[in-house]
Amino acid sequence: MKPKFIVDLNVGKLAKRLRMLGYDALFINGLDDNELVRIALKEGRVLLTRDTGILRRGVAFTGKIKVVLIEAENVREQLRQVVETLRLESGSDMFSLCLECNVPLIPREKEEVRDLVPPYVFRTQEQYVQCPGCNRIYWRGTHWQRMREELEQLLTPGNLFHNGENSASLRL
């Protein structure tokens, strides 16, 4: 079963990177340690944090929840640590979640987004997906290419990029 995450404030940027890889990564700004632990327990989420105090809590210490203590300050190295520690893999679900609100994206026909994207984007792109939560529209433009290249440079082939293209029909 694919792990789900809850991300502490001190590693908040990590949530977007995990979402790029298709992992459910919950991040709610302002949650205290008790709430983080409660949600991790209730929803079976792996807690990602730099806070050593959480490790000393009974539920974390006894293994009732899985906690990964993030060592790096840099988000790229944080992602590398999570991927290596949990042996994460990716597949066709890369870029399948909204980077902002963690909701699965849905395909949209080009004509449906005509008035929702810049004219240049509409002229040059053919495939689009939309977040039903925040209504953001995504497409495979230069920003997508840069994100994908960053992930490819960051992660070794044995960890994630072991099966070629790694993206579904659009699955930005």
For the segment 116-162, what is each residue's pLDDT rounded down to a tens digit?
A: 999 999 999 999 999 999 999 999 998 888 888 888 776 655 544 44
Please check the confidence at residue 170 and state whether its pLDDT lies above 80: no
Residue 50: CB partners within 8 Å, gap ≥ 6? 8, 10, 11, 69, 70, 71
Band of pLDDT at residue 64, cut at 50, 70 and 90: confident
The percent of residues above 90 in pLDDT, for the chain, comes to: 66
Burial environment of residue 158 by CB neighbours within 10 A (0 to 12, 13 to 18, 19 or more): exposed
User: b/e per residue, 77-100, with b = 16+ CB within 10 A?
Assistant: ebbbbbbeeeebbbbebbbbbbbe
